[in-house]
Amino acid sequence: MRDRLFMSNPLCVECERLGRVTLATQRDHIKPLAEGGTDDDDNVQGLCVDCHEAKSKAEAARGASRAWLDYR
């Protein structure tokens, strides 16, 4: 699945959106599995390490916020 993704779109989709050209090295779920996303091809994208780390941190923060709201 990873090879197929990078063969079809070798660039980081977030960098492309910002006008940058960076190779994608990380397979990322657009909607995280923890938030109800699927492992289908239409829910994955290629990201570079920096964009993947930033997205993962934002997802972790959302998860922590949800956990805190559930706790209260």
> Tens of pLDDT along the chain (72 residues)?
889 999 999 999 999 999 999 999 999 999 999 889 999 999 999 999 999 999 999 999 987 877 767 766
Q: How far apart are CA 56 and CA 41, in angstroms?
A: 19
Q: What type of residue sits at position 60?
A: A
Residue-level pLDDT at 43: 97
The model carries a pTM of 0.83
**DSSP collapsed to 3 states, 11-67:** ECHHHHHCCCCCECCEEEECCCHHHCCCCCHHHEEEECHHHHHHHHHHHHHHHHHHH
